[in-house]
Amino acid sequence: MRKLLSVILTGALLAGTAAHAQKTNGYRYKWIDTQGLAHYSDSLTAEAMKSGYEVVNDRGMVVQRVPRQLTAAERAVANKLAAEAAAKERARQNVARAEAQMMSAYPDEAAYKMSLQQTVDAMDQQIRTTRINLQSQEKALTGLLDRAAELEQAKQPVPKFMADNISTQRNVVAAQRNALARQQAERDRTVAAQARQLARYRELKAAEDAPPEP
């Protein structure tokens, strides 16, 4: 919409300028219609603005070109492309700021690697805690299953409350196993990402430490 408004304002401005210039320098408007035919006019017409036009001096030289008005579909595409370009630029700026902060916070590679390792250590601690909880829940499930097996061997029915407890405990164990799998997968992704981050840190550090070009 802003582009359309800009075109209209530009056209209006040129209309005033060209109308004044025509009295002294012979400026005219030229545009091509849908049939490919050229038209000239001393004033700016709606057809010229719609098609796009050129301002021509008395020697036939083009001194200004104004693009045609965009259709609604074209404006939508243009707006979408502009939004995507703006988003990419914001992302680029965010990365640049993050990298600048990283270089400021970690003056050498040892300090940066220590920070990365602290993140992994925290994840390892979480994994160890989940693994301990899983072992405890598995032990509880095994106890319930053993008790149920003893009753079955004694030809005694397994009470409903015990069967319900076994079902619940199985769900608890399955949830703990899934949590452990997610944590381990996240650790793997983090380690891979840290390898890329360290490589980027080294690139930036090398550029920072490089002697200035003569």
Element at 31 (helix H, strand E): strand 28-32
Q: Specify whether 114 is located in the same domain as 202.
A: yes
**Contact present, 47 and 31 (Cβ < 8 Å):** yes
Q: Specify whether 42 is located in the same domain as 124.
A: no
Q: Specify whether 54 is located in the same domain as 89.
A: no
How many Å separate Cα 197 from the centre of its chain? 18
Query: Is 178 within a domain?
Result: yes
Structure tokens at 102: 């990283």
What was the pLDDT predicted at 2? 46
Q: Specify whether 11 is located in the same domain as 88.
A: no
Q: Specify whether 27 is located in the same domain as 44.
A: yes
Q: Specify whether 23 is located in the same domain as 86.
A: no
pTM of the model: 0.60
What was the pLDDT predicted at 105? 94
**Contact present, 21 and 43 (Cβ < 8 Å):** no
Structure tokens at 101: 């902060």
Quote the CA–CA distance of 85 and 64 in Å, as a whole number.
28
Quote the CA–CA distance of 121 and 118 in Å, as a whole number.
5
What was the pLDDT predicted at 48? 82
Q: Specify whether 21 is located in the same domain as 94.
A: no
Looking at the 3D structure of the chain, how many domains does it have?
Answer: 3
Query: Is 214 within a domain?
Result: no
What was the pLDDT predicted at 182? 98
Query: For 60-116, what is each residue's pLDDT tens digit?
Result: 888 888 887 777 888 898 889 989 999 999 999 999 999 999 999 999 999 999 999
Query: Is 49 within a domain?
Result: yes
Q: Which domain holds residue 24?
A: 2-69
Quote the CA–CA distance of 126 and 180 in Å, as a whole number.
9
What was the pLDDT predicted at 9? 40
What was the pLDDT predicted at 30? 87
* Residue entry with tokens 């319900």: 164
Q: Specify whether 61 is located in the same domain as 100.
A: no
What was the pLDDT predicted at 23? 40
The ranges of the chain with pLDDT < 70 are 1-25
Q: Specify whether 140 is located in the same domain as 187.
A: yes
Quote the CA–CA distance of 136 and 113 in Å, as a whole number.
35
Q: Specify whether 95 is located in the same domain as 139.
A: no
Residue 112, Cβ neighbours under 10 Å: how many? Answer: 20
Q: Specify whether 17 is located in the same domain as 93.
A: no
The most distant pair of C-alpha atoms in the chain lies apart, rounded to whole Å, by 117
The one-character DSSP state at 156 is -
